[in-house]
């Protein structure tokens, strides 16, 4: 949860924004701890009883209402896939720039790098 490119980018942007490195690390640690509590509570039934999320959610939402949290999870997943793919595409574009000493600053080449990474 903590060791990924988006967390490093967040820390860099906090430092650029005026925090020192200790404040940036503490802010990210605090945010991860706040998110950790609901994640652990949500995963407890699955870890203890082997119950998948969809079965566990039926107790709260019913058989038809379980589609709501499933769709919300799908939307978040699509968003994170897009963010990670865009960062990966920018990385590929930067590597191509270094190898061939070209500038791929135009939007079409960035989109090609994004699609190449996502596929």
Structure letter (DSSP) for residue 17: T
| pLDDT per residue as tens digits for the range 55-90 | 888 988 999 999 999 999 999 999 988 888 888 888
Contact assessment for residue 87 and residue 10, using Cβ atoms and an 8 Å cutoff: no
Nearest one of 82, 95, 92, 97 to 117, comparing CA atoms: 92
Residues 67 and 106 in one domain: yes
97 and 43 housed in the same domain: no
Same domain for 115 and 102: yes
Same domain, 68 and 119: yes
pLDDT in tens, 7-60: 888 888 999 999 999 999 999 999 999 999 998 988 888 889 898 888 888 988
pTM, whole model, 2 decimals? 0.65
**How many domains is the chain partitioned into structurally?**
2
CA distance 4 to 2: 6
Residue 12: domain span: 1-51
Question: Same domain for 96 and 56?
Answer: yes
């Amino acid at each position: 949860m903590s060791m990924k490119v988006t967390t490093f980018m967040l820390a860099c942007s906090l430092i650029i924004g005026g925090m020192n490195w200790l404040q940036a690390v503490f802010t990210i640690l605090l945010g991860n701890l706040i998110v950790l509590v609901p994640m652990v509570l949500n995963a407890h039934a699955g870890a203890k009883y082997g119950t998948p999320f969809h079965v566990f959610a039926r107790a709260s939402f019913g058989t038809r209402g379980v589609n709501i949290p499933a769709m919300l999870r799908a939307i978040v997943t699509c968003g994170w896939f897009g963010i990670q793919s865009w960062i990966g595409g920018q990385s590929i574009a930067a590597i191509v720039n270094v190898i061939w000493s070209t500038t791929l600053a135009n939007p079409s080449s960035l989109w090609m790098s994004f699609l190449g990474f996502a596929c």
